[in-house]
């Protein structure tokens, strides 16, 4: 097996066509731990070298399910905000407001469906899993309907293009995206001594500054204090979202003077000092440990594995936070190829894996009626504990197996496994044949025994989807 | 209001307290033992703990209107927003005004300027971990792995899982641990044929986590605990709150004595005057509907404690909101509560009074209030409260002063 070195040259890691053998334990690990399970889409890589090769090559899904760019949603977003403001003044304009908001919601729903479709279809499952991992790391949510499509565009604009970039690039793109600036209140934060602040009596809002240090970079206990939060909040003032131009720097709102964050002084005007502090934060050893620790937790185990975090942070520091190198190093660590499945698929992963097991394609998901989509995807996600509207807070979804495999969570999964497959418009597969196809070497004797004794095809399929080996990864 | 101007040193050293009487039983005082008959080891008292996620602004819920600094610190929040008069110069936020009849009936109290021992980092998530674990002062190793409410159950012999429920689809560390407790969401159903059920049990047999979760789900769905969401009359805005409360009330009218769940939406960094309205009306609705569904007799034996990870900055921030702070408010409601009072020593709002120059100084440990409530409801002994339920809690420095909130 050819492997990329931790500090690989990208040319060494080009994709080669592989034949995949579902009975091979390594194939199953690649599929479960780093993708959405078996059966793998045609052409899916299953070795570290080929997986990284696919990842650094162009995204095959770009042409099939195009990214929903900020530029595409900006116009509809602006229109919806204007219509909302107009309707507040004049109730006769409420119908126009509803129509404008519907356009935005349709765009947002399209973005969400495309994300599901890519996860179902892409041979590059690792990319899809990484997109979801980083999207969760930089959680953004909105309750404001006119902003719904902006949040959808955040994934495609700030996260998806940067899964093999440097962490500084992703951090900058995520922080300076309108969705983040709005979600964590940066858009209303004003330097108290700025022209605007003095005139309007407005001032700071610490929300983004704090979560940037605590969640996105250093981590709680990462050596920052209240003073750093305050200084960073001052440094971030001036950032504003303009409905027409996107994110702009407004000097009239910026706190005058230089700020000191973690002992480093940031002076000057405009975006430059903000980009500088983000670049510095991305390369702090605390950031490396915090973020690689999350990678280990997400992909491998809820248990502490400091030696793996050490190894990955070492690569992070040596490669200046090159996410392709860090991901490659993860794939190169033998611990990540352990056959022990210690994690639970979260509800989204469970649904994608189930739909794929039942032969549902991305095209099917795109073509589903709104009602079917709601009943088969959206409502079940709520019942399973991971609603599509997003996590409750900026810390994202929980990771622990016991957070998902609860009585109510399993009841929702089992319910879906019993009722949904009949409604997908697909021929119900022979469950006995389905077991090796979707579980490969992971199928237990108990499951094989039970599936053969199910009263109906549909009960047999439900047993597979409800089995521990299908829900663990 | 009493303007005590306590120093932290004074708080720690000054409040001596004679210990609760030593009990013959290692865990429970003789009072509870005499009152328990084996079938109902916790007696009649119901305890509901609500975790308010996102840091509720106690100064906005219970406004210190008589404190001269308040209007200056909070130009758009508080003074002039039309609050309801409580006692001691405090006013209740208008958005929680539905609770006033409960206050007048003596079934609602507030504890002001209270917090967990968590200081300085002001992280929601570590703060909530500490609040639910009930011990430790920072993230990491010192934190108990289970929740304090679960450890409380663990010291009472003879409890069945039905005694305690964590409700909702989200994880609730507060009730996680070795002691048996149920975890369920209202409106969850599971239709399995007898054969499918047997096969499912067979498939899950060797995986304890899955086996336990599914066994529990089977017990609950077969007991018909799936709620009756379609027929029940519910306000659309509060549909989820109502479903949760109805489910909780059904359980509490039967064997359940302990219920816990969480409510989010308190992180009001901007436009707080409007933003806090929604979570406050949801909390009010929760309490009032629970009282209604339980009926006077059981509500008379009920204590609801709503607590949050920390309070918010004393000063309004630059965007009409508040940032993460320290001291906050705990809400106590129920027929078992000595209501009609704002409890807790008031630290004042002058510059020198504030914690770290920005936050309300906590004058009591929120865990002490919960501990004393459990002592008074269930007869738990001081040693078990300080060592097992809330490791590191010192009832000496806070206990004498606060005295408890149960009738």
**Mutating which of B174, B211, B323, B355 best tests the A interface, going by the most A Cβ atoms within 10 A?**
B323
Contacts of A470 in chain B (CB under 8 A): none
Contact (CB<8Å) B189/A411: yes
Stretch B244-264: mean pLDDT: 95
Contact (CB<8Å) A226/B199: no
Distance from CA of A116 to the nearest CA of B (A): 22
Whether the predicted pLDDT of B234 surpasses 70? no
Per-residue pLDDT reduced to its tens digit, A123-161: 999 999 999 999 999 999 998 899 999 999 999 999 999
Interface of A with B in 221-240 (CB under 8 A): 221, 225-226
Residue B374 and residue B404 in contact, taking contact as beta carbons nearer than 8 Å: no
Residue B191 has its nearest CB partner, among A382, A395, A418, at A418
Distance from CA of A65 to the nearest CA of B (A): 32
Contact (CB<8Å) B204/A468: yes
Contacts of B124 in chain A (CB under 8 A): 393, 395
Whether the predicted pLDDT of B40 surpasses 80? no
Task: Please name the residue of chain A whose CA is at the shortest distance from the CA of residue B213.
Answer: A407
Least confident segment among A289-298, B36-45, B228-237, B365-374: B228-237
Gap between the Cα atoms of B45 and B382, Å rounded: 19
Contact (CB<8Å) A398/B171: yes
Contact (CB<8Å) B171/A406: yes
**Mutating which of B195, B264, B318 best tests the A interface, going by the most A Cβ atoms within 10 A?**
B318
Within 8 A by CB and 6+ apart from A320, the residues are: A166, A168, A283
Its ipTM equals 0.91
Contacts of A408 in chain B (CB under 8 A): 169, 183-185, 188, 217
Contact (CB<8Å) A411/B170: no
Task: Please name the residue of chain B whose CA is at the shortest distance from the CA of residue A406.
Answer: B213
Contacts of A405 in chain B (CB under 8 A): 209-210, 213
Stretch B188-194: mean pLDDT: 81
pTM of the model: 0.84
Mean pLDDT of chain A: 92
Contact (CB<8Å) A408/B185: yes
Share of chain B above pLDDT 70, in %: 84
Whether the predicted pLDDT of B351 surpasses 50? yes
Least confident segment among A322-331, B20-29, B325-334: B20-29
Contact (CB<8Å) A204/B317: yes
Least confident segment among B129-143, B245-259, B295-309: B129-143
Q: What is the pLDDT of residue B98?
A: 97
Residue A203 and residue B76 in contact, taking contact as beta carbons nearer than 8 Å: no
| Band of residue B398 on the pLDDT scale cut at 50, 70, 90 | low
- Residue B318 at interface with chain A, using a CB cutoff of 8 Å: yes
- Cβ count within 10 A of residue B171: 20
- Residue B199 at interface with chain A, using a CB cutoff of 8 Å: yes
Contact (CB<8Å) B202/A446: yes
Residue B53 has its nearest CB partner, among A392, A398, A406, at A392
Least confident segment among A408-422, B132-146, B155-169: B132-146
Per-residue pLDDT reduced to its tens digit, A270-284: 999 999 999 999 999
SS3 track for chain B = CCECCCCHHHHHHHCCCCCCCCCCCCCECHHHHHHCCCCCCCCCCEEEEEEECCCCCHHHHEEECCCCCHHHHCCCCCCCCCCEECCCCEEECHHHHHHHHHHHCCCEEEEEEEECCCCCCCCHHHHHHHHHHCCCCCCCCCCCCCCHHHHHHHCCCCCCHHHEEEECCCCCHHHCCCCCCEEECCCCCCCCCHHHHHHHHHHHCCCHHHHHHHHHHHHHHHCCCCCCCCCCCCCCCCHHHHHHHHHHHHHHHCCCCEEEEEECCCCCCCCHHHHCHHHHHHHHHHHHHHHHHHHHHHHCCEEEEEEECCCEECCCCCCCCCCECCCEEEEEECCCECCCCEECCECCCCHHHCECCCECCCCEEHHHHHHHHHHHHHCECHHHHHHHHCCCCCHHHHHHHHCCCEC
Contacts of B207 in chain A (CB under 8 A): 468, 472
Residues in chain B: 407
| Band of residue B31 on the pLDDT scale cut at 50, 70, 90 | very low
Contact (CB<8Å) B189/A398: no
**Mutating which of A407, A456, A468 best tests the B interface, going by the most B Cβ atoms within 10 A?**
A407
| Band of residue B236 on the pLDDT scale cut at 50, 70, 90 | confident
Q: What is the pLDDT of residue B186?
A: 86
Contact (CB<8Å) B319/A197: no
Distance from CA of A398 to the nearest CA of B (A): 8
Residue A137 and residue A180 in contact, taking contact as beta carbons nearer than 8 Å: no
Contacts of B53 in chain A (CB under 8 A): 392-393
Contact (CB<8Å) B169/A446: no
- Residue B223 at interface with chain A, using a CB cutoff of 8 Å: no
Contact (CB<8Å) B213/A405: yes
Stretch B50-67: mean pLDDT: 96
> Residue A265 is inside which H or E element, if any?
strand A264-266
Task: Please name the residue of chain A whose CA is at the shortest distance from the CA of residue B187.
Answer: A383
Per-residue pLDDT reduced to its tens digit, A71-122: 889 999 999 999 999 999 999 999 999 999 999 999 999 999 999 999 999 9
Whether the predicted pLDDT of A394 surpasses 60? yes
Whether the predicted pLDDT of A16 surpasses 80? no
| Band of residue B194 on the pLDDT scale cut at 50, 70, 90 | confident
Query: First CA to last CA across chain B, in angstroms?
Result: 22
Whether the predicted pLDDT of B231 surpasses 50? no
Read off the DSSP letter of residue A356: H
Whether the predicted pLDDT of B16 surpasses 60? no
> Across A58-62, A344-348, B382-386, which has the greatest mean pLDDT?
A344-348
Task: Please name the residue of chain B whose CA is at the shortest distance from the CA of residue A206.
Answer: B323
Q: What is the pLDDT of residue B23?
A: 34
- Residue A471 at interface with chain B, using a CB cutoff of 8 Å: yes
Q: What is the pLDDT of residue B20?
A: 34
Task: Please name the residue of chain A whose CA is at the shortest distance from the CA of residue B126.
Answer: A220
Per-residue pLDDT reduced to its tens digit, A28-81: 999 999 999 999 999 999 999 999 999 999 999 999 999 999 988 999 999 999
Least confident segment among A21-25, A383-387, B128-132: A21-25
* Sign (positive or negative) of CA dihedral B8, B134, B48, B40: negative
Q: What is the pLDDT of residue B1?
A: 53
| Band of residue A5 on the pLDDT scale cut at 50, 70, 90 | very low
- Residue A341 at interface with chain B, using a CB cutoff of 8 Å: no
Contact (CB<8Å) B169/A385: yes
Least confident segment among A116-120, A449-453, B1-5, B196-200: B1-5
Per-residue pLDDT reduced to its tens digit, B70-93: 999 999 998 778 899 999 999 999
Contact (CB<8Å) B200/A468: no
Residue B120 and residue B112 in contact, taking contact as beta carbons nearer than 8 Å: no
Contact (CB<8Å) B318/A401: no
Mean pLDDT of chain B: 86
**Mutating which of A137, A411, A454 best tests the B interface, going by the most B Cβ atoms within 10 A?**
A411
- Residue B190 at interface with chain A, using a CB cutoff of 8 Å: yes
Q: What is the pLDDT of residue B189?
A: 78
**Mutating which of A195, A196, A220 best tests the B interface, going by the most B Cβ atoms within 10 A?**
A220
Contact (CB<8Å) A463/B203: yes
Least confident segment among A53-67, A220-234, B32-46, B382-396: B32-46
Question: Number of residue pairs across A and B with CB atoms under 8 Å?
Answer: 169
| Band of residue A246 on the pLDDT scale cut at 50, 70, 90 | confident
| Band of residue A8 on the pLDDT scale cut at 50, 70, 90 | very low
Least confident segment among A157-171, A180-194, B220-234, B327-341: B220-234
Q: What is the pLDDT of residue A333?
A: 97
- Residue B406 at interface with chain A, using a CB cutoff of 8 Å: no
Task: Please name the residue of chain B whose CA is at the shortest distance from the CA of residue A450.
Answer: B199
- Residue A449 at interface with chain B, using a CB cutoff of 8 Å: yes
- Residue A411 at interface with chain B, using a CB cutoff of 8 Å: yes
Contacts of B324 in chain A (CB under 8 A): 206, 210
Contacts of B267 in chain A (CB under 8 A): 207, 393
Contact (CB<8Å) A393/B207: no
């Amino acid at each position: 097996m050819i492997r990329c070195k931790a500090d690989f040259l990208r040319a060494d890691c080009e994709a080669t066509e592989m034949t995949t053998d579902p009975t091979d334990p390594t194939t199953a690990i690649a599929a479960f731990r780093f993708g959405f399970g078996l059966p793998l889409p045609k052409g899916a890589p299953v070795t570290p070298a080929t997986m990284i090769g696919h990842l650094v090559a162009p995204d095959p899904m770009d042409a099939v399910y195009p990214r929903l760019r900020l530029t595409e949603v900006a116009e509809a977003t602006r229109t919806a905000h204007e219509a909302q403001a107009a309707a507040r003044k004049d109730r006769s304009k409420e119908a126009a407001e509803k129509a404008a908001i519907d356009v935005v919601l349709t765009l947002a729903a399209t973005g969400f469906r495309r994300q599901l479709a890519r996860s179902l279809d892409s041979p590059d499952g690792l990319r899809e899993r990484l997109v979801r991992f980083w999207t969760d790391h930089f959680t953004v949510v909105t309750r404001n309907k006119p902003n719904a499509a902006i949040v959808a565009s955040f994934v495609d604009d700030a996260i998806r293009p940067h899964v093999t970039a440097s962490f500084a690039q992703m951090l900058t793109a995520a922080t300076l995206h309108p969705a983040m600036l709005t979600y964590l209140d940066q858009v209303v934060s004003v330097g108290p001594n700025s022209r605007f602040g003095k005139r309007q009596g407005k001032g700071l809002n610490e929300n983004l500054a704090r979560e940037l240090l605590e969640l996105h970079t250093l981590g709680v206990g990462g050596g920052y204090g209240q003073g750093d939060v305050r200084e960073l909040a001052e440094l971030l003032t001036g950032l504003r979202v303009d409905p027409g131009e996107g994110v702009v720097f407004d000097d009239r709102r910026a706190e005058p003077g230089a700020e000191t964050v973690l002992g480093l002084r940031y002076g000057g005007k405009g975006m430059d000092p903000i980009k500088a502090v983000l670049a510095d934060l991305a390369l702090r050893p605390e950031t490396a440990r915090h973020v690689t620790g999350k990678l280990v937790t997400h992909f491998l185990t809820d248990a502490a594995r400091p030696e793996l975090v050490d190894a990955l942070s070492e690569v992070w520091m040596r490669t200046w936070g090159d996410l392709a190198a860090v991901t490659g190093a993860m794939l190169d660590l033998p611990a990540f190829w352990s056959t022990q499945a210690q994690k639970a698929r979260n509800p989204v992963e469970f649904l994608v894996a189930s739909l794929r097991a039942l032969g549902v394609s991305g095209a099917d998901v795109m073509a589903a009626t709104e009602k079917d989509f709601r009943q088969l995807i959206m409502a079940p996600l709520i019942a399973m504990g991971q609603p599509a509207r997003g996590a409750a807070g900026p810390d994202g979804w929980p990771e622990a197996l016991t957070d998902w495999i609860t009585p109510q969570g399993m009841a929702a999964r089992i319910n879906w496994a019993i009722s949904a497959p009949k409604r997908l418009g697909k021929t119900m597969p022979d469950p006995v044949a389905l077991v090796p196809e979707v579980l490969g070497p992971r199928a237990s004797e108990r499951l094989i025994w039970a599936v053969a004794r199910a009263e109906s095809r549909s009960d047999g399929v439900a047993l597979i989807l409800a089995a521990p080996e299908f829900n663990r990864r | 209001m009493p303007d005590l101007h306590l120093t932290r040193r004074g708080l720690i050293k000054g409040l001596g307290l004679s210990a609760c009487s030593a009990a013959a039983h290692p865990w429970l005082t003789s009072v509870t033992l005499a009152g328990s008959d084996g079938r109902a080891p916790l007696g009649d008292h119901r305890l509901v703990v609500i975790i308010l996620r996102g840091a509720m602004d106690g100064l906005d819920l219970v406004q210190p209107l008589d404190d001269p600094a308040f209007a200056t610190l909070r130009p758009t929040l508080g003074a002039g927003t039309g609050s309801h008069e409580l006692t001691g110069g405090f006013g209740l936020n208008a958005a929680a005004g539905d609770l006033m009849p409960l206050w007048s009936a003596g079934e609602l109290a507030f504890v002001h300027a209270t917090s967990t021992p968590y200081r300085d980092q002001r992280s929601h998530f570590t703060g909530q971990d500490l609040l639910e674990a009930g011990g430790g002062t920072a993230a990491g190793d010192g934190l108990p792995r289970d929740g304090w409410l679960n450890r409380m159950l663990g010291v009472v012999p003879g409890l069945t899982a039905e005694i305690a429920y964590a409700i909702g689809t989200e994880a609730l560390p507060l009730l996680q641990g070795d002691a048996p407790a149920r975890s369920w969401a209202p409106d969850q159903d599971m239709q399995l044929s007898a054969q499918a059920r047997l096969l499912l049990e067979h498939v899950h047999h060797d995986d304890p986590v899955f086996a336990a979760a599914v066994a529990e789900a089977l017990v609950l769905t077969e007991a018909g605990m799936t709620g009756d969401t379609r027929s029940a009359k519910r306000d659309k805005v509060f549909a989820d709150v109502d479903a949760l409360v109805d489910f909780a009330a059904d359980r509490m009218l039967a064997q359940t004595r302990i219920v816990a769940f969480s409510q989010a939406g308190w992180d009001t960094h901007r436009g707080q005057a409007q933003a806090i309205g929604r979570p406050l009306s949801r909390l009010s609705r929760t309490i009032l509907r629970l009282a209604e569904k339980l009926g006077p007799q059981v509500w008379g034996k009920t204590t609801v404690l709503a607590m949050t990870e920390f309070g918010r900055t004393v000063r309004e921030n630059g965007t009409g909101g508040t940032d993460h702070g320290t001291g906050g408010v705990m809400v106590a409601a129920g027929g078992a509560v000595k209501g009609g009072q704002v409890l807790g020593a008031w630290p004042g709002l002058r510059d020198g009074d504030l914690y770290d120059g920005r936050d309300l100084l906590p004058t009591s440990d929120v865990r002490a209030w919960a501990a004393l409530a459990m002592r008074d409801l269930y007869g738990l002994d001081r040693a078990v409260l300080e060592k097992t339920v809330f490791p590191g809690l010192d009832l000496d420095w806070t206990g004498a002063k606060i005295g408890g909130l149960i009738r």
